[in-house]
Amino acid sequence: MWRGLGGRMRRLKLAVPAALVFLAGCAKDAPQDTFDVDGPIAQKIDNLQVPVFLIAGAVFLLVQGLLVATIIRHRHRPGRPDPVQVHGNTKLEFGWTVVPALLLVAVAFPTVFTIFDLSREPKGDVLPVEVYGHMWWWEYRYPTLGISTANELHIPTGRPVRLDLHTIEPGIPPAKGQEFAQGVLHSFWVPKLAGKQDVVPGRVNKLTLIANKADTYDGQCAEYCNLSHANMRLKVISQTPLEFDKWVEDQKKPITPPAGGDAAAGFELFKGKGTCIGCHTLGGVEGAVARVGPNLTHLMDRTTFAAGLFPVTPELLKKWISDPSAMKPMRPEQGTGMPKVPLSETEIDQLVAFLETLK
């Protein structure tokens, strides 16, 4: 059977996925490559993982090599006597106990030091940012700057950014005495800038980001958080301090209410029939302060929406508003994710015209 067609098919069925998984690691310029780092925090992790990877790789090759050589060399042949038995060889047993123990110690010391080093509060001109994981997007609030945004985190280059990681679900009724319902587990991960940090209900975990240069870094939620976990991406946009300051100034500006036309009609729908105001913040608009969905004050300043899934274009925004869950699975009926709004196609066009003014 094993040598027959069935066996060969079975081996092929195992070999093809294995080869695909292996080849998937060969991507060039992968946006989330942990071996291609761009900041001092990620560099410290890289400085640890590369030697550990090399030591572990050498051990793997040695052990597997000896195993395979032994299997081939001493395989059963008719009439061949048993090979020399080494059971009870003190020198050998001492050696293969002590050498791995020393290797583990050699790996443990830098690992523990790196863990403590990474968890230390950064010094200097630190920029604090509160990160809130929602099902299924990221909210960023800059307490010292008085601004907030979503999914695309802007940071200045060369400056330590200290993240406070929270998880909330403002779309779900909170427990007594709480401002927001507690969220679920997430994990904030931007591989080129830092390691993963879990976002845990009921506590505030910390993570430091430092970017060397101005660039855009892809990241994602790295802890299963229900239905759209795979659709909870993020970007970190690092800018020179000058450009960052300009971005902050822009973010502080309230919206400019449209003077007329479709956009003005869309603005009315936003506040009224469309019910958008119940979930989204719009700077300078009375009553538009909710945090159920992303702050839309400067939506057009972002490159993507729906947690990094789609480029911000009028066509995709229209498709999204027409049926959000068709583009990204969500559970609006349970308070997580955007519901369909009671608007006609013409009204949705007007709403999109308004959204396009949110620069």
235 makes contact with ligand CUA (CB under 6 A): no
Is the previous residue joined to 137 through a cis bond, with omega within 30 degrees of 0? no
Nearer to ligand CUA, 205 or 357 (CB): 205
232 makes contact with ligand CUA (CB under 6 A): yes
Nearer to ligand CUA, 201 or 339 (CB): 201
Nearer to ligand CUA, 223 or 356 (CB): 223
Q: How far is the CB of 200 from ligand CUA (least distance, A)?
A: 12
- Take residue 179 and report the two structure tokens written for it: 């401002």
For residue 313, give the 3-state DSSP assignment.
Answer: coil
Cα radius of gyration rounded to whole Å, the chain? 27
Nearer to ligand CUA, 152 or 223 (CB): 223
- Take residue 100 and report the two structure tokens written for it: 């791995």
Residues 183-222 that bind ligand CUA (CB under 6 A): 186, 221
Q: How far is the CB of 231 from ligand CUA (least distance, A)?
A: 9
153 makes contact with ligand CUA (CB under 6 A): no
Stretch of 33-41, 68-76, 224-232, 308-316 lying at the interface with ligand CUA (CB under 6 A): 224-232
94 makes contact with ligand CUA (CB under 6 A): no
Q: How far is the CB of 198 from ligand CUA (least distance, A)?
A: 10
- Take residue 225 and report the two structure tokens written for it: 């958080």
Q: How far is the CB of 328 from ligand CUA (least distance, A)?
A: 13
Q: Which residue has the tokens 């989330």?
A: 32
127 makes contact with ligand CUA (CB under 6 A): no
Q: How far is the CB of 233 from ligand CUA (least distance, A)?
A: 10
299 makes contact with ligand CUA (CB under 6 A): no
169 makes contact with ligand CUA (CB under 6 A): no
Q: Where are the alpha helices (DSSP H) in the chain?
A: 5-24, 40-73, 90-119, 241-252, 261-271, 314-322, 324-327, 345-355
Nearer to ligand CUA, 160 or 183 (CB): 183
Q: Which helix (H) or strand (E) holds 199?
A: strand 197-199
Nearer to ligand CUA, 233 or 298 (CB): 233
223 makes contact with ligand CUA (CB under 6 A): yes
User: Exactly one of 141, 154, 229, 280 binds ligand CUA (CB under 6 A); which one?
Assistant: 229
Nearer to ligand CUA, 219 or 274 (CB): 219
233 makes contact with ligand CUA (CB under 6 A): no
Q: Which residue has the tokens 């050696």?
A: 95
Torsion sign (Cα): 68, 73, 76, 81: negative
Q: How far is the CB of 139 from ligand CUA (least distance, A)?
A: 12
165 makes contact with ligand CUA (CB under 6 A): no
Buried b or exposed e, range 270-288, using 16+ CB within 10 angstroms: bbeebebbebbbbbebeeb
Pair 105, 195: CB distance under 8 Å:
no
Buried b or exposed e, range 61-97, using 16+ CB within 10 angstroms: eeeeeeeeeeeeeeeeeeeeeeeeeeeeeeeeeeeee
Residues 46-75 that bind ligand CUA (CB under 6 A): none
Distance CA 185, CA 224 (A): 7
For residue 56, give the 3-state DSSP assignment.
Answer: helix
Q: Which helix (H) or strand (E) holds 239?
A: strand 233-239
> By rule CB under 6 A, what count of residues binds ligand CUA?
9
DSSP output for 99-148: HHHHHHHHHHHHHHHHHHHHHSPPPSS-EEEEEEEETTEEEEEETTTTEE
Nearer to ligand CUA, 133 or 337 (CB): 133
User: Exactly one of 190, 225, 299, 338 binds ligand CUA (CB under 6 A); which one?
Assistant: 225
Give the contact letters, 129-148, x = binds to ligand CUA (CB under 6 A), - = no: ----x--x------------
Distance CA 182, CA 134 (A): 10
Residues that bind ligand CUA (CB under 6 A): 133, 136, 186, 221, 223-225, 229, 232
